[in-house]
Structure 1
Amino acid sequence: MKKTSISLAVTLAAVSSQAMAFGAADARSTAMGGTGVASSNYLMAPFHNPAQAVHYTGSDDFGLLLSLNLGAHDSDDLYSKIDHFQQIDEELEYNSQDAALQQEWRDALRALDNGSLNVDTNIGLAVAIPNRHLSVNMFANANVATIAMTDVADSDLVGTPDTENMQSTVQGMIGGTVDVGVALARAFELPFAGQRLSVGVTPKAQHIVAVNYKNTVAGFEDDDFDLGSEYQEKTVFNADMGLSYMPTDYLTVGFAAKNMFAQELETNASYGSQATFLVEPKYTAGIAFNSRFLTVAADYDISKTRYFKEVEHETQFARFGAELNAWDWAQVRAGYSMSMTDYAQDTVTAGLGFKPFGAFGFDLGAFYGEDNNYGVSAQMVLTL
């Protein structure tokens, strides 16, 4: 179990350097509760709804976006408990006959039972060329989900601690996707005054990576919990699609289907166990009111998101967000993300945007929830 928390961070950074993550895929969306299906613009469209690639102003001819997001949920305070257990375990090696220390060791081990730590990260890059004939957005996007779990055996809690023959285990699983594709969208005027319908599709190459590492608490080594030579990978074709309906100039109703072709990737075997990383279709509906100075949006996940077949961990959210826009020079954003399952917590979000010279800008976003649930997001934008 040595340096488990450090190993998680190192592994996550190694995977993230290829690309991106979970939750909101850009800083504006993070600050607005994770909304974007009906409120994103042409630059963020591939991350939320490809049909939104037609949402640009007359002065937009080119756009570039680079986004980084990181979130963690340590509901059991596993990070601190692991550190505490490591200290006691090291002391016990030199004072193995200390009865008080033995009991403290058992208490610290018992506190780790059924603990979990979830970390998600995201890196996105988009280059967009909007126009009235066919809006195009070329993008690269990487999502990485990391889950660490502990399972304490009753036999380790009885009698004299035997650190050499422990049955309690730690399991870490990493699954990620790297998407490279192009979002294509076209708007159509409907035979009703002022109403439009836009349709978007995103063909993409999807590289899937997964790794599994399980060992006893005593035998868990941080150097072994990384991609190394044990990871499994495959490259497949996948696609997203989306619709956006504008009954008026100020109201948008959207629908997005991400990863329309379900994929699975079985991890390597470790300590007699394997895991199966899932890439399943995700369906989301949204609605947004948008004026020059105010945007109000809401999204709802129609489907739940699972990460590993063998782990009872799934997420589903209802999201709400608002943005105050000061003549496109500065933005203030806030939102709320409501969890629809027991595996995640509600979060409050906020953020700022700055674009003082009309071309270059940057955005910051953050979210916070109970039980050590927090995240940050930042992005740079260039529009011409």
Structure 2
Amino acid sequence: MAKKISMSKRFSQPAVFTVLFSVPLGALAAGNYYDARNDAMGGTGVASSTYGTAVLANPALMTKARPEDNVSIILPAAGVQLTDKHKLIDKIDDLTDSVDSYQDIANSGSFTPADYPRVQAAAGDLASQLRGMKGNQASGTAGVAFAVTVPNEVLPFAFVTKAYGTANVRAAVSQSDIDYLQGVADGTIFPLPGDEDRLTSAGLGRGAIVYDYGVAVAHEFTIAGQPVSFGVTPKLQKTYLYNYSASVYNYDKSDFKKGRYKNDDTGFNIDAGAATDLNDNWTLGVSAQNLISRDIETKEISGFKDTYQIRPVVTPGVSFHTDRLTTALDVDATPTKRFKTQDQSQYAGVGAEYRLLSWLQLRAGYRADMKSNDTNVVTAGFGISPFNKVHLDLAGMKGDDNTWGAVAQMNFTF
């Protein structure tokens, strides 16, 4: 008969995400940051960001501050996006109930023939749950950012701290587990002590959290009579990687605290950008994030390890703007790299903002993966900015495959 499975040792995806983001995050966004205004506008921002949020999308745009603009503080911007096509979260919750039911009967004390129908029913329920979650996976991204931007006419600068992360969880269900439990349910297999050793289904996952600590500067130059702004953000980059393999029947989240699945790496990187106004209504921009490529290996767990790849992401963008309306288009010129075993993504976004009142902005957009490996999302949001001193921005994202996301941001200007 299967051994008792402690109720404290449950495989639950919420616990997994809590562990993977057990830092002040509380996902990968299309880029390496979340910004409520930009994300509501389809993830654009290379040519349309405000001077106070430019440090996140394109530091060159810090030069676009007006003489009357003051110090801007992001405190904070935070976002999350989850994709759970097969509703794995709910299935895992159901699985834990089935595991508990099976182990309660198996460890009820003396086992008599009268108990066998209950064992069969519990085994059949557990087999059905495993069958339903076989091959399922879920993924999530999260991010948070803090920034202080000091505008001036000579060398605007900003201090920025941000963290962004991605996690993927997969249910690796063994067919032999399903066959064994179904055999118990059908009465063709009689459970014996030690049979639990044949149950090998596991939860597998990878996660990465990257911290950036940087100082951005920008300056406007005149090139062939055309004003062109350049910005650069050198930054310290700290990366935490998670690679885990845990039995579905014997999961214990305290193992993560022992560092068995976790390793880290520290390095240097740099973001850069450029922007120019073609006239009063059109702005062109280009940003390049993580110009220094880095490959970081996870720990080897159960014979498996992966490589997290940080690669340059170059994105040109264009914006059309009037007193009330701003529209923007950004298209990645390079793919987004994550773990080596994952498919690449390459995003394009389009969005608009309409300033309905001096203190109320409405936004909408659409973001697509041109490689069709990530879910396309519709985006929307709004901003409230009373007296132009306090700015509250909210955004939401919704896509196929049970994908949703949300971003909240507070900005203050002094």
TM-score by length of 1: 0.92
Q: How does 1:293-312 map to 2 (within 5 A)?
A: 293-310=324-341, 312=342
Q: Which amino acid aligns with 1:367?
A: M
- 1:87 is aligned to 2:97: yes
Q: How does 1:306-321 map to 2 (within 5 A)?
A: 306-310=337-341, 312-321=342-351
Query: What is the deviation of 1:118?
Result: 1.0
Query: What is the deviation of 1:59?
Result: 1.1
Task: Indicate the residue corresponding to 1:22 in structure 2.
Answer: 29
Task: Indicate the residue corresponding to 1:58 in structure 2.
Answer: 67
- 1:323 is aligned to 2:331: no
Indicate how the Cα distance of structure 1 residues 15 and 172 shifts in structure 2: closer, same or farther if over 3 A, else same: farther
Task: Indicate the residue corresponding to 2:179 in structure 1.
Answer: 158
Q: Which amino acid aligns with 1:222?
A: K
Task: Indicate the residue corresponding to 1:68 in structure 2.
Answer: 78
Tell me, yes or no, if the aligned pair for 2:55 and 2:216 is still in contact at 8 Å. yes
Task: Indicate the residue corresponding to 1:187 in structure 2.
Answer: 220
Q: Which amino acid aligns with 1:48?
A: A
Task: Indicate the residue corresponding to 1:241 in structure 2.
Answer: 272
Task: Indicate the residue corresponding to 1:7 in structure 2.
Answer: 15
Secondary structure in 2 aligned to 1:16?
A: coil
Q: Which amino acid aligns with 1:112?
A: M
Secondary structure in 1 aligned to 2:394?
A: strand
Task: Indicate the residue corresponding to 2:4 in structure 1.
Answer: none
Query: What is the deviation of 1:77?
Result: 1.1
Equivalent-residue separation in structure 2 for 1:75 and 1:300 (angstroms): 26
Task: Indicate the residue corresponding to 2:190 in structure 1.
Answer: none
Query: What is the deviation of 1:113?
Result: 1.9
Tell me, yes or no, if the aligned pair for 1:213 and 1:224 is still in contact at 8 Å. no
Indicate how the Cα distance of structure 1 residues 171 and 227 shifts in structure 2: closer, same or farther if over 3 A, else same: farther
Q: Which amino acid aligns with 2:12?
A: T
Q: Which is higher, the Rg of structure 1 or of structure 2?
A: 2
Equivalent-residue separation in structure 1 for 2:27 and 2:199 (angstroms): 36
Task: Indicate the residue corresponding to 2:314 in structure 1.
Answer: 283
Query: What is the deviation of 1:164?
Result: 3.8
Equivalent-residue separation in structure 1 for 2:311 and 2:56 (angstroms): 16
Equivalent-residue separation in structure 1 for 2:303 and 2:246 (angstroms): 9
Query: What is the deviation of 1:286?
Result: 0.9
Task: Indicate the residue corresponding to 1:250 in structure 2.
Answer: 281
Task: Indicate the residue corresponding to 1:37 in structure 2.
Answer: 46
Aligned residues: 380
Identity %: 31
Q: Deviations over 1:79-133 (max 9, x none)?
A: 1111122212222224464434433322211222222111111110111111221
Query: What is the deviation of 1:289?
Result: 0.6
Q: Which amino acid aligns with 2:295?
A: E
Tell me, yes or no, if the aligned pair for 1:214 and 1:220 is still in contact at 8 Å. no
CA RMSD of aligned residues (A): 2.1
Tell me, yes or no, if the aligned pair for 1:241 and 1:257 is still in contact at 8 Å. yes
Q: Which amino acid aligns with 1:169?
A: A
Tell me, yes or no, if the aligned pair for 2:71 and 2:149 is still in contact at 8 Å. yes
Q: Deviations over 1:230-268 (max 9, x none)?
A: 421121110011111221121111111110111122222
Equivalent-residue separation in structure 2 for 1:21 and 1:128 (angstroms): 24
Query: What is the deviation of 1:220?
Result: 2.4
Indicate how the Cα distance of structure 1 residues 323 and 226 shifts in structure 2: closer, same or farther if over 3 A, else same: farther
5+ residue gaps in structure 1?
Answer: none
Indicate how the Cα distance of structure 1 residues 270 and 8 shifts in structure 2: closer, same or farther if over 3 A, else same: same
Tell me, yes or no, if the aligned pair for 1:26 and 1:68 is still in contact at 8 Å. yes
Task: Indicate the residue corresponding to 1:170 in structure 2.
Answer: 203
Within the candidate set 240, 246, 250, 1:209 is matched to: 240
Tell me, yes or no, if the aligned pair for 2:232 and 2:272 is still in contact at 8 Å. yes
Q: Deviations over 1:328-369 (max 9, x none)?
A: 411111111112234321111111111111212211111111
Indicate how the Cα distance of structure 1 residues 230 and 108 shifts in structure 2: closer, same or farther if over 3 A, else same: closer
Task: Indicate the residue corresponding to 1:77 in structure 2.
Answer: 87
Q: Deviations over 1:26-47 (max 9, x none)?
A: 1111111111111112221121
Q: Which amino acid aligns with 1:252?
A: T
Q: Which amino acid aligns with 1:234?
A: D
Tell me, yes or no, if the aligned pair for 1:88 and 1:104 is still in contact at 8 Å. yes
Tell me, yes or no, if the aligned pair for 1:172 and 1:225 is still in contact at 8 Å. no
Equivalent-residue separation in structure 2 for 1:268 and 1:233 (angstroms): 10
Query: What is the deviation of 1:225?
Result: 4.1
TM-score by length of 2: 0.86
Task: Indicate the residue corresponding to 2:402 in structure 1.
Answer: 372
Tell me, yes or no, if the aligned pair for 1:37 and 1:256 is still in contact at 8 Å. yes
Q: Which amino acid aligns with 1:258?
A: Q
Task: Indicate the residue corresponding to 2:111 in structure 1.
Answer: none
Secondary structure in 1 aligned to 2:169?
A: strand
Q: Which amino acid aligns with 1:183?
A: A
Between 1:254-263 and 1:333-342, the stretch displaced more is 333-342
